[in-house]
Amino acid sequence: MVRLVFLGKLGDAAPANLSEVALPGEVKTLSDLRDWVGRTAPLLGRAIAATQTRIVLNQTVAHDMSACVRDGDEIAFLPPMSGG
């Protein structure tokens, strides 16, 4: 099981059943996860694709989308921030 957190406007598009999930075997990397989220929740996937969403793996901003996803991980999707 992994914990998925969708922040900002992504939280509005995220289905409630995506907060704690057992990922299918083909999801091994952050890139795989991003693609799987897009297939599982198309509206959310489009929102992620439309912005420069950052992915935060266990409270560290991920710069390498080939980083492995493991049971117990917390992965947050962080859209660009705006405001003053």
The tokens for 26 are 């083909």
Domain locations in the chain as residue ranges:
2-78
pLDDT at res. 69: 98
pLDDT, tens digit, 9 for 90 and up, residues 7-23: 999 999 999 999 999 99
DSSP string, 20-68: EEPPPTT--BHHHHHHHHHHHSHHHHHHHHTTT-EEEETTEE---TT-B
User: Tokens in use for 62?
Assistant: 């991920």
pLDDT tens digits for 31-71? 999 999 999 999 999 999 998 999 999 999 999 999 999 99
Distance CA 11, CA 73 (A): 18
CATH no. for 2-78: 3.10.20.30
**The pTM is what?**
0.91
